[in-house]
Amino acid sequence: MNGYNFAYLDEQTKRMIRRGLLKAVAIPGYQVPFGGREMPMPYGWGTGGMQLTASILGEDDVLKVIDQGADDTTNAVSIRAFFERVAGVETTTDTAAADVIQTRHRIPETPLSAGQVLVFQVPIPEPLRFIEPSEEETRVMHALEEYGVMHVKLYEDIARHGHIATTYAYPVKVDGRYVTDPSPIPKFDNPKLHMSDALMLFGAGREKRLYAIPPHTRVESLDFEDHPFEIQAWDAPCAMCGARDSFLDEVITDDAGGRMFVCSDTDYCQKCREEVA
Amino acid sequence: MYVAVKGGEQAIANAHRWLADRRRGDRDRAELSVDQLAGQLNLAVDRVMAEASLYDPELAALALKQASGDLVEAVFLLRAYRTTLPRLAETVALDTGAMRIERRISATYKDVPGGQVLGPTYDYTHRLLDFLQLAEGEVPEPARAEAALEACPPILEQLDAEGLIEREVDDGAAPYDITRDPPDFPVDRATRLQMLARGDEGYLLALGYSTQRGYGRNHPFAGEIRIGQVEVEIVVEEHDGPVCIGEIAISECQMINQFAGSREMAPQFTRGYGLAFGRNERKAMAMALVDRALRAEELGEPVESPAQQAEFVLAHADSVEASGFVSHLKLPHYVDFQSELELLRRLRRAHGEPQSGGDEDSSEVADGGSGAQAPADTHPPSETEQVAP
Amino acid sequence: MMRWPAFSDPVHDGQRHFRRVLAAMAEPGTLHVAAAPAVPEDAAIGPALWATLLSLCDLDTRLWIAPGLEAGGLTGALSFHTGCRLTAAPEDADFALVTPGTLAEPAPLFAEGSDAYPDRSTTLLVVLEALAEGDAWRLAGHGIPDTRGLDLGEAGPLMTRLAANRARFPRGLDAILTCGERLAAMPRSTRIEANVADIRQEECPCTSQ
């Protein structure tokens, strides 16, 4: 594209990010500080994920971009168009056909396979941030593996509500060491992080942190013996494809309280409907 | 029948087309030129340059035009452009003492070597709308002095000579570069000043103001404010001495603040420093107040007020970061909201239940009211819990 | 012809090679083959390592080179193509070019990072005489479904050092292992065991297979 390097970022910035990614993969769940750059899109709209995607993407890669599980949400459309423009790569909505998938808030329902890379957009990478706002303090807590406050917080939920009241961005422990924010995916998706075949990279542009969960890595959602980790489930199947194993979005259908539930993963829903047909 | 929303791409394209039309406005009116903006809305252009950390009046004016005058958006446009530029050289530190002064005032001395120079200022204008500007009136040429200004030595140097104010020394360390490396809290003063220099003016103004009202008071005096042109120099190999590559306009503010002292050290005035590209006097003053407030710990003062808390102040000063993250709330959050909705419904059902009920059996739960909240023909999806495999 | 050959297409060749290194680091012990450029004349390193240097080093990185490995035009070629800075202080190095023997005691003190900043560590770029699937070293940990085995030829001091990583985690050294066009990686989190019964001293040269 006129005046810009392949995939927008200059090579020196890419190398800086690439070196950071190698560290991230070597220390799973540890947040590596990186010199995040301004992107031509606002902070908070996926600039971290985009910088990671731009740094790993090659001309032969096939790219998929989703937001809320869907390929056609406006921000997914916008980011996909950006990479088509600046990298000229082929794009797809088919989860299985993609080499690199950039996502916001979901992990695809179709199991990922070896060689695929899932890039998460992360708003607040620090899982302890809402308990301890100071970066100086949370850094020490990670260094000392001092995660008691997180359990206290979850337990306070139980005391007040009878349940752990965290439903998304549910904290995990990666490879038995780092408590890590899985980005605001619903806790429904947490089990997909565990022993995945795919490489998972996380980029937080505004906060200038990147981290990774390599393939075949233990990822446990924090819980208690008497309150084990649980995921959401629905009694009704998807109203469009009949899937019973996917995360469902609630859609309001009229102004009389009518509503229906459909797959948030549009590609999965489409595939299920094709199978039925 | 429900059909999933499609056509995001077309919607985006149409929205941008509409935006371009709105920007252009009435086609019967002349279009604004970038030259006009750079020349006549120069303070807006200066603010955009300062917060974008790129000195380029023409591109700042273009950003302003493209953003329809939205300063935060213009700063973002110019910043995003800045980040793509190669770094060709590093300049020698600017010598503000050698500034070609157009404005220079001190609130601490009645007269100073070089004199008080008001320059083009809004100070002492009566804020009465000038209805003549509705019509096209001629503006007279400015009055010009017969002789050039005398040399204007920095005022704080006078105090410095007497040992009345803390001396600032260059320790020669290479400054941390916040545009290349993420801030690593706690950060040193040079890093703090970099972050404040590109910080949002409104934010710094409010924080600086808060220190004047007692939240981290430090008794400031405007020791010197100077605005004018300084030369930018670089060192070129095979060339004796630095080479001037141009001039930029900057605003500098040196605050003189309450003195500190200890058994070992005689009391001295302390300093707060502000610097901004262009004519940004308010920004430079606010920055100097906040800089001084952030030195509380270093100067042995209690850290109690918002403006004194470095991580809080600095992590939220950047308008590009702040506006991005606030505006991202416009993006879809269906999935997280659905997760919360599901939990809240479950908690509300459990709330009305007798304690002994054990796990909820949602199909039998009446939700407090009439129980007719969902039409009978839709399948009320009663969420249950499953243990993850 | 070209004394200092490099990637014919720096942007895309660099990207492709980085993805190999990333995959190697994400799945420790897996072997990857670099479609690598010719190496600088008389250099003591192979194409996989040369490609790794070209794709990761630049003005912002400091490289430490073990005595003997700077042979040929390596430093000239490196500085020409990457601009990376050489350092004589191993603790300042982002990358260190070593052989397994470099890690023999007394070994250079490379940066291991701190508990707060474990990323501020030196990454070892290792020149091996052999690199193949095998049973000499059993690897386990993240990125490895069960266990994975490698033969590395004479690599005792290196592997002793890398095996010690576990005790200091998250501090530690990550290693990118190369032999000719082959490449594998061993991050600090990998658990390493010598398969004592099965160590065969015979060479398994990397040019075979």
Q: What is the mean pLDDT of chain A?
A: 94
Number of domains in chain C: 1
* B13: pLDDT strictly greater than 70: yes
From the list A59, A139, A214, which residue is nearest C26 (CB)? Answer: A214
pLDDT at B240: 87
Q: Is residue A138 part of a domain?
A: no
Give the pLDDT mean for A220-235: 92
Which residue would you say has higher pLDDT here, A1 or C68? C68
Q: Is residue A79 part of a domain?
A: yes
From the list A67, A136, A259, which residue is nearest B186 (CB)? Answer: A136
* C91: pLDDT strictly greater than 50: yes
pLDDT at C202: 45
B-contacting chains (≥3 CB pairs under 8 Å): A
- In angstroms, what separates the C-alpha of A22 from chain C's closest C-alpha? 6
From the list C26, C57, C188, which residue is nearest A215 (CB)? Answer: C26
Q: Is residue A28 part of a domain?
A: yes
Locate the chain A residue with the closest alpha carbon to B72. Answer: A42
Per the structure, the complete domain to which residue A92 belongs is given by: 11-128+169-221
Q: Is residue C84 part of a domain?
A: yes
Q: Identify the band that residue B238 occupies on the pLDDT scale cut at 50, 70 and 90.
A: confident
Cβ of B339 within 8 Å of Cβ of A35? The answer is no
Confirm if B341 and A250 have CB atoms less than 8 A apart: yes
* B382: pLDDT strictly greater than 80: no
The DSSP call for residue A90 is E
Q: Is residue C131 part of a domain?
A: yes
Say yes or no: A179 and A208 in one domain.
yes
Confirm if A44 and A32 have CB atoms less than 8 A apart: no
Cβ of A167 within 8 Å of Cβ of B80? The answer is no
C-contacting chains (≥3 CB pairs under 8 Å): A
Instruction: Indicate which of C7, C12, C15, C174 best probes the interface with A, i.e. most A CBs within 10 Å of its own CB.
Output: C15
pLDDT at B358: 44
Question: What are A65-98's pLDDT values in tens digits?
Answer: 999 999 999 999 999 999 999 999 999 999 999 9
Confirm if B34 and A96 have CB atoms less than 8 A apart: no
Locate the chain C residue with the closest alpha carbon to A174. Answer: C142
- In angstroms, what separates the C-alpha of B184 from chain A's closest C-alpha? 8
In chain B, % of residues over pLDDT 70 = 88
Domain boundary among A221, A246, A263: A221
pLDDT at B86: 81
Say yes or no: A107 and A241 in one domain.
no
Q: Is residue A4 part of a domain?
A: no
pLDDT at C58: 94
| Catalytic center residues of A | 29, 238, 241, 263, 269
- How far apart, in whole angstroms, are the C-alpha atoms of residue B191 and residue A83? 34
pLDDT at A77: 93
Query: What is the token pair recorded at C84?
Result: 């990376």
Say yes or no: A34 and A124 in one domain.
yes
Q: Side-chain half-sphere of C188: how many Cα atoms within 13 Å?
A: 28
Q: How many CB atoms lie within 10 A of CB A255?
A: 6
pLDDT at A235: 87
Q: What is the mean pLDDT of chain C?
A: 91
- A93 vs B: CB within 8 A: no
- Of A39-43, B18-22, B314-318, C192-196, least confident by mean pLDDT is C192-196
Confirm if C57 and C123 have CB atoms less than 8 A apart: no
Cβ of B311 within 8 Å of Cβ of A134? The answer is yes
Locate the chain C residue with the closest alpha carbon to A58. Answer: C15
- C119 vs A: CB within 8 A: yes
Highest mean pLDDT among B374-388, C3-17, C104-118: C104-118
Q: How many CB atoms lie within 10 A of CB B72?
A: 18
Domain boundary among A199, A221, A243: A221
- Of B133-137, B382-386, C136-140, least confident by mean pLDDT is B382-386
Say yes or no: A107 and A239 in one domain.
no
Give the pLDDT mean for B75-82: 95
Highest mean pLDDT among A257-261, B58-62, B93-97, B115-119: B58-62
Say yes or no: A90 and A210 in one domain.
yes
pLDDT at B6: 58
Q: Is residue C207 part of a domain?
A: no
Strands B384-387 and A230-233: antiparallel
Residue C62, sorted as left (phi over 0), alpha (psi -120 to 50) or beta, turns out to be beta
Is ipTM strictly over 0.90? yes
Q: Is residue A251 part of a domain?
A: yes
pLDDT at B367: 38
* B388: pLDDT strictly greater than 70: no
Cβ of A19 within 8 Å of Cβ of C141? The answer is no
Give the pLDDT mean for C84-102: 96
3-state secondary structure of A54: helix
- What is the side-by-side strand order in the sheet with B100-105? B100-105, B221-234, B243-260, B268-277
Strands B243-260 and A248-252: unpaired
Where does residue B377 rank: exposed (0-12), middle (13-18), buried (19+ CB within 10 A)?
exposed
From the list B5, B185, B324, which residue is nearest A206 (CB)? Answer: B324
pLDDT at B380: 41
- In angstroms, what separates the C-alpha of C205 from chain A's closest C-alpha? 27
Phi, psi of B233 (to 5 degrees): -125, 150
pTM above 0.80, yes or no: yes
Say yes or no: A187 and A243 in one domain.
no
* B100: pLDDT strictly greater than 80: yes
Q: Tell how far CA B362 is from the center of its chain.
A: 52
User: Tokens 């479609």 identify what position?
Assistant: C35
- A188 vs B: CB within 8 A: yes
- In angstroms, what separates the C-alpha of A43 from chain C's closest C-alpha? 25
Q: Write out the DSSP string of C47-103.
A: HHHHHHHHHH-STT-EEEE-TTTTTTTHHHHHHHHT-PEE-S-GGG-SEEEE-GGGG
- In angstroms, what separates the C-alpha of C209 from chain A's closest C-alpha? 23
Q: What is the CATH number of the domain that holds A187?
A: 3.40.50.11310
Q: Is residue A141 part of a domain?
A: no
User: Tokens 């060491």 identify what position?
Assistant: A177
3-state secondary structure of A51: helix
pLDDT at C206: 57
- How far apart, in whole angstroms, are the C-alpha atoms of residue B27 and residue B34? 17
Closest residue by Cα to residue B104 from B92, B114, B94: B114
Strands A90-91 and A62-67: parallel
Give the pLDDT mean for B98-115: 90
Q: Is residue C134 part of a domain?
A: yes
Cβ of A19 within 8 Å of Cβ of C61? The answer is yes
Give the pLDDT mean for A214-241: 94
pLDDT at B387: 38
Give the pLDDT mean for B40-54: 97
Which stretches of chain A sit within 8 Å of chain C by CB? 5-6, 11-12, 14-16, 18-28, 30, 32-33, 56-59, 115, 139-140, 142-144, 175, 177-178, 195, 199, 212, 214-218
Three-state secondary structure string covering chain B: CCCCCCCHHHHHHHHHHHHHHHHHCCCCCCCCCHHHHHHHCHHHHHHHHHHHCCCCHHHHHHHHHHCCCCHHHHHHHHHHHHCCCCCCCCECCCCHHHCEEEEEECCCCCCCCCCCECCCCCCCCCCCCCHHHHCCCCCCCCCCCCCCCCCCCCCHHHHHHHCCECCCCCCCCCCCCCCCCCCCCCCCHHHHHHHHHCCCHHHHHHHHHHHHCCCCCCCCEEEEEEEEEEEEEECCCCCCCCEEEEEEEEEEEEEEEEEECCCCCCCEEEEEEEEEECCCHHHHHHHHHHHHHHCCCCCCCCCCCHHHCHHHHHHCCCHHHHHHHHHHHHCCCHHHHHHHHHHHHHHHHHHHCCHHHCCCCHHHCCCCCCCCCCCCCCCCCCCEEEECC
* A253: chain B residues, CB-CB within 8 Å: 2, 378
Q: Is residue C149 part of a domain?
A: yes
* B117: pLDDT strictly greater than 80: yes
Say yes or no: A180 and A265 in one domain.
no
Cβ of A77 within 8 Å of Cβ of B311? The answer is no
The DSSP call for residue A5 is B
pLDDT at B151: 76
Q: Is residue A5 part of a domain?
A: no
In chain C, % of residues over pLDDT 90 = 78
Domain boundary among A221, A241, A261: A221
Number of domains in chain A: 2
Q: What is the CATH number of the domain that holds C82?
A: 3.40.50.11310
- A234 vs B: CB within 8 A: yes
pLDDT at B217: 87
- How far apart, in whole angstroms, are the C-alpha atoms of residue A79 and residue A102? 9
Question: What are B54-67's pLDDT values in tens digits?
Answer: 999 999 999 999 99
Phi, psi of B259 (to 5 degrees): -90, 150
Q: Is residue A256 part of a domain?
A: yes
- B387 vs A: CB within 8 A: yes
* B365: pLDDT strictly greater than 50: no
Locate the chain A residue with the closest alpha carbon to B340. Answer: A167
Q: How many CB atoms lie within 10 A of CB A93?
A: 17
Q: Is residue C42 part of a domain?
A: yes
- How far apart, in whole angstroms, are the C-alpha atoms of residue C36 and residue A100? 24
pLDDT at B373: 40
* B384: pLDDT strictly greater than 50: no
Q: Is residue C5 part of a domain?
A: no
Say yes or no: A116 and A239 in one domain.
no
Question: What are A130-177's pLDDT values in tens digits?
Answer: 899 999 999 999 999 999 999 999 988 888 888 888 999 999 999 999
Q: Is residue C1 part of a domain?
A: no
Locate the chain C residue with the closest alpha carbon to A116. Answer: C23
Per the structure, the complete domain to which residue C188 belongs is given by: 10-198
Question: What are C126-162's pLDDT values in tens digits?
Answer: 999 999 999 999 999 999 999 999 999 999 999 999 9
Locate the chain A residue with the closest alpha carbon to C22. Answer: A22
* B362: pLDDT strictly greater than 70: no
Q: Identify the band that residue B347 occupies on the pLDDT scale cut at 50, 70 and 90.
A: confident
In chain B, % of residues over pLDDT 90 = 59
Say yes or no: A61 and A103 in one domain.
yes
